[in-house]
């Protein structure tokens, strides 16, 4: 890939057919994930892959744009290949699985490194090692984003109805259910197993803090929670690291024990039911597409898992780099990988440019070139209005039902879980959910997201939690406001403002 300067960006998407992702983060990671892995490395491995990506960033937030037409092109090519066999997608999946396993091994080795003992070159080499491992697995993993959608219909739901010639929501619900546990589901399953082993509590233990004291006198239980912590400390990370202690997980387990809540989803049963349905339908093409969607769901979920685990090490590395250079952690977060050697090893950087990026910046990857603009260059070389729709007012808005239900409640828009106050029974409205949203999702009366697709985190987790959910409602965070009273009809994908 080649860096370009003074390159005027024309969005070339007059109907604004974007899949927009808006969430907390910073330039370094969106460049790594979206542009380095999702465009350039993907093009090396899979020349038919995504050709461009764009992102406006700053103030701890990202606003990423995939061209939906590009995603649809890749998806249609994969669907066409399913007419004959699954071989092309299996080739992609198996390459991703291999790279994913290598990335996890590298991250586990990085756990044993003492960063303060490394030389500058060794610290930079470690950074490169974990960075390159992540983009290699992302190069294939981002193919799964071709299965996302935006708007009032979901391609997968429509395909099932077309191939079966049946408008059967129960059938659609079953055929779109995942058969491979998400990493959140695996973590939940492991925690409930510990809770089951603890079994019951004496009457004197009436709250989570008393449970922590209770564990101190029972070292065999304490060890189980500490082992769990060493395995899942990263589970609520996003682009920012968030290390969770064993006490956090023990408090979660307390409520499982108190409520006798030890049930977990039986994925093997779901797999067998789907197999039986597909055998009765006698449609090999549909069976292949269903299998492809299952693997794509797994690929997308575990691609995210690799990223959230990587975030932990990036935070440790940037902290050490900051200590040695006098640059802030945010300065490093607003540096991209091609600049890192000069900035850290050579100590060659423009601090004013890094500070301007922290306020606002734009990065892009297109036609084998990339660029980053900040400060005065932003308005000079890109027009933000070419990407973003103006908000519009509507009382009834539509998306795609991900988990059925009919509820009424008050809207709570959440863009950053660290700063949000979310009350039990509110309607969670966000661009897309990531692992750190799960505690909110558990307490939500319903979930509304702007991103759509049966493989999205919100779609998977809402079904696991059995919380009504509508996905793909474009501009939901702009059309709605906190405190709006709404009716969520997640049977038909309709959200109606009441007051």
Q: Where does a domain end: 360, 386, 412?
A: 386
Residues 331 and 454 in one domain: no
Q: What is the DSSP string of 214-229?
A: HHHT-HHHHHHHHHHH
**Per-residue tens of pLDDT for the chain, all 499 residues:** 899 999 999 988 988 888 888 888 999 999 999 999 999 999 999 999 999 999 999 999 899 999 999 999 999 999 999 999 999 999 999 999 999 999 999 999 999 999 999 999 999 999 999 999 999 999 999 999 999 876 667 899 899 999 999 988 789 888 988 899 989 889 999 999 999 999 999 999 999 999 999 999 999 999 999 999 999 999 888 788 777 889 999 999 999 999 999 988 889 999 999 999 999 999 999 999 999 999 999 999 999 999 999 999 999 999 999 999 999 999 999 999 999 999 999 999 999 999 999 999 999 999 889 999 999 999 999 999 899 877 666 788 888 888 889 999 999 999 888 778 899 999 999 988 877 788 899 999 999 998 877 767 888 788 878 999 999 888 888 889 999 999 999 988 899 999 7
Q: Who's near 250: CB < 8 A, 6+ residues apart?
A: 208, 211, 212, 215, 225
Residues 234 and 144 in one domain: no
- Residue 208 DSSP SS3: helix
The answer to the question of residue 466 being in a domain is: yes
Residues 379 and 470 in one domain: no
Q: Which helix (H) or strand (E) holds 55?
A: strand 52-58
pLDDT at 31: 97
Nearest to 333 by CA among 23, 22, 27, 24: 27
**Are the beta carbons of 21 and 62 closer than 8 angstroms?**
yes
Residues 202 and 67 in one domain: no
pLDDT at 401: 85
Q: Where does a domain end: 348, 366, 386?
A: 386
The answer to the question of residue 284 being in a domain is: no
pLDDT at 457: 81
The answer to the question of residue 274 being in a domain is: no
Phi (first) and psi of residue 204, to 5 degrees = -75, -15
Residues 129 and 15 in one domain: yes
pLDDT at 392: 64
Residues 155 and 213 in one domain: no
The CA–CA distances, whole Å, from 162 to 286, 340, 436, 455 equal 10, 50, 36, 20
Q: What angle do CA 149, 184, 446 make, to 5 degrees?
A: 55
Token look-up 């709250």 returns: 207
pLDDT at 176: 87
Residues 38 and 158 in one domain: yes
The answer to the question of residue 225 being in a domain is: yes
Residues 235 and 207 in one domain: yes
Residues 297 and 245 in one domain: no
**Are the beta carbons of 390 and 460 closer than 8 angstroms?**
no
pLDDT at 367: 80
Per-residue tokens: 166: 């049946």
Residues 451 and 400 in one domain: yes
**Are the beta carbons of 119 and 344 closer than 8 angstroms?**
no
The answer to the question of residue 481 being in a domain is: yes
- CATH number of domain containing 430: 3.50.30.10
Long-range Cβ contacts of 34-38 (<8 Å, 24+ apart)? 34/64, 34/365, 35/363, 35/364, 35/365, 35/370, 36/1, 36/135, 36/337, 36/365, 37/134, 37/135, 37/136, 37/138, 37/139, 37/141, 37/142, 38/138, 38/139, 38/142, 38/145
The answer to the question of residue 189 being in a domain is: yes
The answer to the question of residue 266 being in a domain is: no
pLDDT at 19: 87
Q: Where does a domain end: 361, 386, 411?
A: 386
pLDDT at 438: 85
Looking at the 3D structure of the chain, how many domains does it have?
3
Cα–Cα dist 273/270, whole Å: 5
Residues 68 and 147 in one domain: yes
Residues 200 and 121 in one domain: no
pLDDT at 57: 96
The answer to the question of residue 279 being in a domain is: no
pLDDT at 391: 63
Domain that holds residue 300: 2-165+293-386
Q: What is the pTM for the complete model shown?
A: 0.88
């Amino acid at each position: 890939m080649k860096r370009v300067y003074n390159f005027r960006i024309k969005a070339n998407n007059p109907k604004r057919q974007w899949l927009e992702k808006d969430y907390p983060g910073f330039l370094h990671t969106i460049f790594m994930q979206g542009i380095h892995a999702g465009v350039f490395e993907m093009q090396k491995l899979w020349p038919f892959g995504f050709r461009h990506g764009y992102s406006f960033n700053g103030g701890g937030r990202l606003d990423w744009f995939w061209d939906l037409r590009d995603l649809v092109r890749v998806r249609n090519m994969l669907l066409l290949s399913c007419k004959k066999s699954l071989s092309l997608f299996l080739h992609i999946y198996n390459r991703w699985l291999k790279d994913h396993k290598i990335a996890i091994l590298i991250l586990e080795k990085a756990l044993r490194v003492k960063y303060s003992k490394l030389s500058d070159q060794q610290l930079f080499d470690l950074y490169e090692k974990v960075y390159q491992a992540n983009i290699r697995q992302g190069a294939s993993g981002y193919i799964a984003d071709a299965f996302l959608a935006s708007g009032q219909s979901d391609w997968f739901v429509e395909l099932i109805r077309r191939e079966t010639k049946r408008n059967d929501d129960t059938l659609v619900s079953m055929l779109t259910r995942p058969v491979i546990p998400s990493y959140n589901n695996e973590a939940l399953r492991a925690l409930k197993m510990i809770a089951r082993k603890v079994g019951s509590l004496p009457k004197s233990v009436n709250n989570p803090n008393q449970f922590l004291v209770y564990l101190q006198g029972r070292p065999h239980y304490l060890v189980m929670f500490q082992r769990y912590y060493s395995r899942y400390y990263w589970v609520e990370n996003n682009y920012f690291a968030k290390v969770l202690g064993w006490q956090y997980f023990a408090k979660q387990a307390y409520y499982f024990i108190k409520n006798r809540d030890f049930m977990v989803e039986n994925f093997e049963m779901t797999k067998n039911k789907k197999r039986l349905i597909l055998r009765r339908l006698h449609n090999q093409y549909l069976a292949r597409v269903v299998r492809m969607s299952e693997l794509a769901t797994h690929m997308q979920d575990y691609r995210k898992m690799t990223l959230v685990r990587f975030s932990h090490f990036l935070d440790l590395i940037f902290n050490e780099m900051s200590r040695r250079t006098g640059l802030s952690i945010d300065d490093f977060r607003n540096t991209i990988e091609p600049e890192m050697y000069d900035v850290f090893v050579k100590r060659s950087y423009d601090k004013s440019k890094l500070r301007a990026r922290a306020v606002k910046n734009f990065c892009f990857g297109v036609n084998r070139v990339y660029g980053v603009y900040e400060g005065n260059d932003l308005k000079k070389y890109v027009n933000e209005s070419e990407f973003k729709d103006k908000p519009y007012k509507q009382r009834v808005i539509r998306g795609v039902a991900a988990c059925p239900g009919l509820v009424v409640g008050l809207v709570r828009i959440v863009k950053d879980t660290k700063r949000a106050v979310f009350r039990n029974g509110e309607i969670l409205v966000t661009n897309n959910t990531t692992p750190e949203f799960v505690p909110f999702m558990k307490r939500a009366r319903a979930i509304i997201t702007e991103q759509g697709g049966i493989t999205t985190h919100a779609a998977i987790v809402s079904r696991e939690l059995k919380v009504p959910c509508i996905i793909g409602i474009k501009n939901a965070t702009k059309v709605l406001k906190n405190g709006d009273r709404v009716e969520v009809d997640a049977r038909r994908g309709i959200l109606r403002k009441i007051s």
